[in-house]
């Protein structure tokens, strides 16, 4: 397996992985919109010629939907986590390639070398879900429950 940068030019492969991993469509405008944001970083895992996973994020700022929505839902003492954070948007691995360390490798690689002080994401509120267990093992902690239906806000310091 190799991990390499990816982006809008890889949209077909990224979409395939997203749809298989999450079993739902990926809105067509999502990647191009996010790719235009400051600090955008997208990495894909390849098994030979097949993309088997990807992750991406960017610098989250006030004035962006997610950051503003989270700010409106969390306690004021969490405001120091918001604005200038790395927003981890997606982490997806093909079901046929799960439990091989690909998600862990992608997560480590996307966070490596970032200039941000903290990183944030939303994840399922199911503590037993594989993604939640991965984030917990990698040092993420729940900052707020119920930020979206069935989701928690998780954060991790980087520097």
Domains of the chain, CATH where assigned:
2-157 (3.40.630.30)
pTM over 0.85: yes
| Residue 86 · residue 158 · CB < 8 Å | yes
Residue of 127, 126, 115, 123 whose CA lies nearest to 148: 123
Q: First and final CA of the chain: distance in angstroms? A: 28
pLDDT digits (tens, 9 = 90+) for 17-68: 999 999 999 988 899 999 999 999 999 999 999 999 999 999 999 999 999 9
**pLDDT the model gives residue 28:** 84
Residues 63, 155: Cα–Cα separation, whole Å: 20
Q: What is the dihedral of CA 49, 50, 55, 59, to 10 degrees?
A: 40
């Amino acid at each position: 397996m190799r991990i390499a940068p990816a982006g809008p030019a890889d949209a077909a492969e990224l979409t395939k992985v997203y749809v298989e991993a999450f079993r739902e469509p990926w809105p067509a405008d999502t990647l191009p919109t996010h790719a235009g944001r400051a600090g955008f970083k997208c990495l894909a895992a390849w098994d030979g010629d097949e993309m088997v996973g990807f992750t991406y994020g960017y610098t989250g700022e006030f004035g962006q939907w997610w950051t503003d929505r989270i700010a409106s839902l969390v306690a004021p003492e969490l405001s120091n986590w918001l604005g200038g954070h790395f927003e981890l948007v997606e982490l997806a691995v093909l079901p046929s390639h799960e439990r091989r360390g690909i998600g862990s490798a992608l997560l480590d690689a996307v966070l490596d070398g970032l200039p941000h002080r903290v990183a944030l994401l939303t994840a399922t509120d199911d503590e037993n879900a594989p993604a939640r267990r991965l984030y917990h093992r990698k040092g993420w902690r729940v900052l707020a429950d119920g930020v979206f239906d069935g989701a928690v806000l998780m954060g991790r310091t980087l520097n």
